[in-house]
Structure 1
Amino acid sequence: MRRIHVFLRRLVHVAAILILCLVGYAYVARQPQNLPWTRLDLSQPVGLFTGRKLAMLAARPAECRALLDRAGVAYARMKPGGEGRCAYADAVRLAPAEGAIALEPAAVAPSCPVAAALKLWEWQVVQPAAQRHFGRAVRKVTHFGAYSCRRLYGRSAGDFSEHATADAIDVAGFILTDGRRIGVAADWKGEGKEADFLHEVRDGACALFSTVLSPDYNAAHRDHLHLDQAERGARGGRACR
């Protein structure tokens, strides 16, 4: 009798393990974006490890461009430029596409990981937020540029900015399809839907970029959202302020 009880207990344990495996498989099949080992797919919703996977693309430029290709993102690969601490080799210029948000000025060329994050931000965060708050889409994102060979805050010494390698972009505002403008400088501190929209897209960017700095951080960011893909993001280090 005792052997039967032992056998039944073991059978129950095996069954429990099998059930957990099945549940785990179902989870992976339905939400691969929430697992660290699945391949990044820009068509998937933002998951727990999406930001980390995007930052890891800095060491895999060919994989990053292939990711854009699979997602149908139109872009032009830029030639390597700069030198020393200001060298970059994986910059891309997003091309105009029907129904896509345009960057203004259009000549900006951030690194591929930044461009990939911008597209996910557009699809998963910015456009849904614009529809909720304004009932229409965003047509353009205005910015202050991506590449700039300089140190942090323009200092003469200290660490170099992520802009020095085109791994950042400073977003100044948004233009809706009806021409309405929403600016970080003008609308961040308001109490209307413009401010709500800006705070929502800032919060959404935090899941996609290594660093997101807003007017809540300091006066140097009073008029823009700084978005970058610093290397520490590949190790899970993130900053959102």
Structure 2
Amino acid sequence: MRHRSGSCSIGRGGRQERGDHGSDGPRATGASSLLNLTCLLRPLLTACALSLAACQAFAADVELPAQAPIPQAREEALRRSPRPPGKPAAKQLLPAAEQTCRAALRDLQASFAEAAPVEKKGGCALQHPVELSFASRHIRIEPPAVLDCQTALVVARFFGTDRIAPKHFRAAIKTVHNASGYVCRPIGGGRNLSEHAFGRALDISGFTLSDGRQIAVQQHGRGQGPEAKFLRDIREAACGPFSTVLGPGTDAAHADHFHFDTKKRRAPYCR
């Protein structure tokens, strides 16, 4: 069977069958190769044409905005873009002595919280204060006292083991009533700053025992009953652990409370 010239008929072995002229010369061979290449490319070209037509039909269905978007300036874009959360401020590391002091308070089962540093005009300063709320697991400081940590440690050691109240009553100390911890003030209205101004002093107005008994320094500080003997024993025992111990009988300013502080002295001052 023979085909008309220009048709894409491939014979066995992949060769083009001869056309109507039946010539086997060089011209016929070149024309045959060109026809063969055209036949091979025709399906590919047809597929490309169909794909292009499909893309044009899809693009015709897409609605474009009436006006192209205006690019933002870089500064405005950065200002509107969400910023990554900043890193939290690094927690200030306490000096080694302060860390050791706090570890000792925990060993005594004292309860405390970090207090805000203090630095005021006139010299009042407290760099690493604590707020002591319990001298031990059973003895409350009410209200909590803001103190220098070393002074808080002396308070916790002194009241942490209550051996005095059981000598006079069938009860133990439950609450130490704080009249003053840190306060920026001079001594007796003078020019020298009190130890309170550095968090190194605690004023005590009285005690509450586990049986509910209330013992006020002002009421029993100079009496003769068991409450007065209890207060005298407290006062005498405090002389040594604290460098300064004042109370009723010292002067009019201390008639209603005990003043215990940790001022550096060559020897304790107890009056």
Question: Which band: TM-score by shorter chain?
Answer: 0.5 to 0.7
- 1:88 correspondence with 2:121: no
* Matched letter for residue 169 of structure 1: L
Q: TM-score, with normalisation over the residues of structure 1?
A: 0.67
Show structure 1 runs of 5+ residues with no match: 1-58
Alignment CA distance shift 1:147-1:98 (3 Å): closer
| Residue matched to 2:156 | 119
Report if the CA contact (8 A) 2:206-2:217 is conserved. yes
What CA distance in whole angstroms lies between the structure 2 residues aligned with 1:98 and 1:174?
15
* Matched letter for residue 109 of structure 1: V
Count of aligned residue pairs for this structure pair: 175
| Residue matched to 1:35 | none
Q: Which runs of 4+ in 1 moved over 4 A?
A: 96-99
Higher helix share: 1
Counterpart selection for 1:132 from 167, 172, 178? 167
Cα displacement (A) at 1:99: 4.2
- 1:197 correspondence with 2:225: no
Cα displacement (A) at 1:118: 1.0
- 1:75 correspondence with 2:108: no
Higher strand share: 2
Cα displacement (A) at 1:72: 3.2
Counterpart selection for 1:182 from 198, 212, 215? 215
RMSD: 2.0
- 1:102 correspondence with 2:125: no
| Residue matched to 1:61 | 98
| Residue matched to 1:238 | 268
Higher relative contact order (CA 8 A, sep 6+): 1
1:69-116 CA-to-partner distances (Å, cap 9, x unmatched) read 33332221212113241110132112458842111123x211112211
SS in 2 for 1:105: strand
What CA distance in whole angstroms lies between the structure 2 residues aligned with 1:104 and 1:225?
15
Counterpart selection for 1:148 from 173, 183, 196? 183
SS in 1 for 2:180: coil
What CA distance in whole angstroms lies between the structure 1 residues aligned with 2:213 and 2:220?
12
**After the TM superposition, which of the residue ranges 210-219 and 181-190 deviates more from structure 2?**
210-219
Show structure 2 runs of 5+ residues with no match: 1-95
What CA distance in whole angstroms lies between the structure 2 residues aligned with 1:173 and 1:197?
11
What CA distance in whole angstroms lies between the structure 2 residues aligned with 1:73 and 1:189?
31
What CA distance in whole angstroms lies between the structure 1 residues aligned with 2:150 and 2:226?
30
**After the TM superposition, which of the residue ranges 83-92 and 222-231 deviates more from structure 2?**
83-92
What CA distance in whole angstroms lies between the structure 2 residues aligned with 1:137 and 1:73?
17
Q: Percent identity?
A: 37
Larger radius of gyration: 2
What CA distance in whole angstroms lies between the structure 1 residues aligned with 2:114 and 2:175?
21
